[in-house]
């Protein structure tokens, strides 16, 4: 079964704690992305990675960190420096269209992790 | 600031009608355009992609792209209550892997 999995589905964090959200894909996609969605808001890009061992900051990277040690995995850590972390976190993947000079870049999403700070 | 604009809605249509969702974008070098459907509490699901001017049809969905006027639209024919969701427009700039999303339009289809 090909797809993107995220875990956990729900996560509760106390003030001052770091938490790590998991994202795994078996679509053989090069690129992976992390987005944050707040109520009534669109998706905002946190970090993305086009290749293993390399990643780039998105629009709202402050207070977050990522790693890309394997092609299939792109975990996101929400650190205590993130002032307002309560949100719906979405992981996505795609082929690396820009890197391959392709015009299409369909991104597919995992089911998401809902993070709440207590 | 590269922007993607959508009317937040809600757009209300009766069952069986045509729903028309619109999206405008500011970046003229935008190359690829996508429509995602997002049910409440769920993740976005890709329903249409379009890369060249004109219409692209897939079942009850038609995407329309006009690069000169910088807008892309999604038509849903024979709307069903199960189409009630938020529709997100996303745009990719040439040479970039990332997408810029609009805030979405909520569609309500009444029986």
CB B90 within 8 A of CB B100: yes
Contact at CB, B101 and A112, closer than 8 angstroms: no
For residue A1, pLDDT over 60 is answered with: no
Mean pLDDT of A6-22: 93
Residues A59-102: tens digit of each pLDDT:
999 999 999 999 999 999 999 888 889 999 999 999 877 667 77
For residue A49, pLDDT over 60 is answered with: yes
Q: What's residue A2's pLDDT? A: 65
Contact at CB, A103 and B32, closer than 8 angstroms: yes
- State whether residue A48 sits within 8 Å of chain B by CB: yes
Residues A20-47: tens digit of each pLDDT:
999 999 999 999 999 999 987 889 999 9
CB A64 within 8 A of CB A76: yes
Contact at CB, B97 and A90, closer than 8 angstroms: no
Contact at CB, B42 and A111, closer than 8 angstroms: yes
Contact at CB, A105 and B8, closer than 8 angstroms: no
Which value, to the nearest 10 degrees, does the dihedral of the CA atoms of residues B94, B92, B65, B16 take? Answer: 160
Q: Which of A45, A50, A109 sits opposite B43 (nearest CB)?
A: A109
Contact at CB, B34 and A106, closer than 8 angstroms: yes
Q: Which of A41, A96, A111 sits opposite B103 (nearest CB)?
A: A41
Residue of B nearest to A6 (CA): B43
Q: Which of B42, B49, B102 sits opposite A104 (nearest CB)?
A: B49
Q: How far apart are CA B35 and CA B58, in angstroms?
A: 12
| Most B-contacting residue of A107, A108, A113, A114 (CB-CB within 10 A), to test interface | A107
* Residues on chain B touching A51 (C-beta within 8 angstroms): none
Q: What's residue B2's pLDDT? A: 65
- State whether residue A93 sits within 8 Å of chain B by CB: no
Residue B25 has phi, psi (to 5 degrees) of -135, 155
Q: Which of B43, B92, B95 sits opposite A110 (nearest CB)?
A: B43
Share the mean pLDDT of chain B.
94
Sorted by sequence, the CB contacts under 8 Å of residue A76 that are 6+ apart come out as: A20, A21, A23, A34, A46, A47, A64, A65, A66, A89, A91
Residues B37-76: tens digit of each pLDDT:
999 999 999 999 999 999 999 999 999 999 999 999 999 9
């Amino acid at each position: 079964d090909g797809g993107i999995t995220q875990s956990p589905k729900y996560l509760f964090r106390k003030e001052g704690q770091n938490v790590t959200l998991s994202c795994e894909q078996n679509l053989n996609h090069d690129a992976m992305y992390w987005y944050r969605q707040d109520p009534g808001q669109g998706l905002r890009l946190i970090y993305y990675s086009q290749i293993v061992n390399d990643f780039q900051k998105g629009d709202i990277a402050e207070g977050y960190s990522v790693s890309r040690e394997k092609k299939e995995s792109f975990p996101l850590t929400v650190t205590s420096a993130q002032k307002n972390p309560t949100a719906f976190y979405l992981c996505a993947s795609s082929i690396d269209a820009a890197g391959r000079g392709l015009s299409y870049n369909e991104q597919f999403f995992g089911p998401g992790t809902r993070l709440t700070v207590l | 600031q590269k922007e993607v604009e959508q009317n937040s809605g809600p757009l209300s249509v009766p069952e069986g009608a045509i729903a028309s969702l619109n999206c405008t974008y500011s970046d003229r070098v935008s190359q690829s355009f996508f429509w995602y459907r997002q049910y409440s509490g769920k993740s976005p699901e890709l329903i249409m992609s379009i890369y060249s001017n004109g219409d692209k049809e897939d079942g009850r969905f038609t995407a329309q792209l006009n690069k000169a006027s910088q807008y892309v639209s999604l038509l849903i024919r024979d709307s069903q209550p199960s189409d009630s969701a938020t529709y997100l427009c996303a745009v990719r700039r040439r040479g970039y892997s990332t997408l810029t999303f609009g805030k979405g339009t909520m569609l309500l289809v009444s029986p």
